[in-house]
Structure 1
């Protein structure tokens, strides 16, 4: 009896196209489009930093030679893109009773079973990518077990910035702390520009912020105090910053729940930038994908020994990156 998966519909190219079309059902950072995909052909990327020299240009009489531009110093940093494989299996029981000679709908049914498995696998890759992206926003990219993949502050030789908000003190000038955050980010854009500042908060930080006396007082007359009685966890603006509660978490392979933002913390970052944030994706380690442009996800299938099912292999090779870690600010409640 022929293997139903031995058709072009289940080739590596077809499955890879299918898994990349399936909807991503997890990821606030994905929905924000903060770190767009930038595919590369290699397993390693080079980040070039150039300290641009900006100076005021003097006025000169007509006909005078122009001032000569001065170049900044360049430095190169190399990053190896992480490899994240994940395997699953389609067992004979899942296609039992589906195949029939001469049927025109069998392949569609088997394709549905395959799509269901691919969707489950995609969801796991999606939450893993969210975890990596959140690490890039905090300046320290962590693996699933909590170990450090890249400390961007060390890589770029800068010190992390933490601004205490002291939300437990009713007399704290919260707006002044927000201004400090904005000023720090603006000073560290270094030739970039932004359209605003966003802050993802742990539930504890968000509750302390929205319950602070001065924050409540600032909003008690705005739209008849609507912000004080409605659910504003999806985001509200205070002091020029959009604060949003973020509850992202996932279990590692040992079943340990890991929160993407620690209790009592929040992380502010600029939005609307040009090249500060990106997600680099490398090609898979298949013969067919050597020297090709990387894709967000890859999928492949292979029959098991003695025909006892079909192995599914998926992999992603992503590296979320913040090229200016100086714009990242940790807020402490």
Structure 2
């Protein structure tokens, strides 16, 4: 995109069946979708580092890299660290995206709630009852099936085939899930039974849902007793729009995921400033398909 504002059109349309008609009869009329428009501004995050000449003074031994090579190596190292911070920030936005939210990484305040913006009531949180010492037979599998069917219903007919659901789980939720009687019995007679005797992998499939223990990043993760569910393979369900950087060179050009710049000290040649910038807007286009669950 070439601007800092994204206009999103919301439609209430769903797929429908076309009935048979007699030859020569009138056409079945398509009912126009109800449309609503919303404008969202791409948020910006940026970070910089400064490499001073004094920082690498007197650290080069005889026969080692030249001064120019040494500066280039240090610049590349610091830019790599900045890019890693950017990747962590993108991961943070993706985690919030499967909750239908955009949050500020600084204080985790909600900036955009797509449920509120599009007038959608979030589905009630599901109690997976994982701490039940004597669960009813098949109760967990039925709960998974009910969740899948709920997501399919909320997709308005767009799920023509089987819908694959993924869940990003907190540590306690995942631990109780893999220890659950139904899950253990499912895996006992499979090649994965060895996992039950040792350290359990970070991902397990059960009841048509792939559960993953979410490790998180610096300062963010899935709450330990929670799980966030979302369908996979739905085209356009999650999008990230990028606005161009705040420079004359990039104005009105297509936005890129990340901009990296090196700005030398042209007056005294004492430092070089390293900068990264991104202007993303992560969007969940159908927040009504998202689900949350608690361990108990």
The residue that corresponds to 2:178 in the other structure is: 210
The structural deviation recorded for 1:221 is 2.3
The two structures have a TM-score, normalised by structure 2, of: 0.88
CA distance in 2, matches of 1:295, 1:106: 33
Change in Cα spacing, 1:56 to 1:237, as seen in structure 2 (3 Å) is: same
CA distance in 2, matches of 1:319, 1:196: 25
The structural deviation recorded for 1:197 is 0.8
For 1:48-75, what per-residue CA distance to the aligned partner results, in whole angstroms no more than 9, with x for missing partners? 1111154332212233343222221111
Unaligned segments of structure 2, at least 5 residues: none
CA distance in 1, matches of 2:155, 2:14: 13
Query: What is the root-mean-square deviation of aligned Cα atoms in Å?
Result: 2.3
Q: In the alignment, which of 81, 92, 97 is matched to residue 53 of structure 2?
A: 92
CA distance in 1, matches of 2:279, 2:32: 35
Correspondences of 1:140-219 after superposition (within 5 Å): 140-144=101-105, 145-161=107-123, 162-170=125-133, 171=135, 173-193=139-159, 195-219=163-187
Q: Please identify which structure carries the higher helix content.
A: 1
The residue that corresponds to 1:332 in the other structure is: 294
The structural deviation recorded for 1:195 is 4.7
CA distance in 2, matches of 1:224, 1:241: 17
CA distance in 2, matches of 1:229, 1:180: 30
How many residue pairs end up in the alignment? 283
The structural deviation recorded for 1:210 is 0.6
The structural deviation recorded for 1:214 is 2.4
Q: Is the 8 A contact 2:94 2:282 kept in 1?
A: yes
Q: In the alignment, which of 225, 231, 237 is matched to residue 264 of structure 1?
A: 225
Most deviating of 110-119 and 283-292: 110-119
Correspondences of 1:1-333 after superposition (within 5 Å): 40-93=1-54, 96=57, 107-144=68-105, 145-161=107-123, 162-170=125-133, 171=135, 173-193=139-159, 195-223=163-191, 225-250=193-218, 258-304=219-265, 306-333=268-295
Most deviating of 75-84 and 184-193: 184-193
Unaligned segments of structure 1, at least 5 residues: 1-39, 251-257
CA distance in 1, matches of 2:56, 2:166: 48
Change in Cα spacing, 1:243 to 1:44, as seen in structure 2 (3 Å) is: same
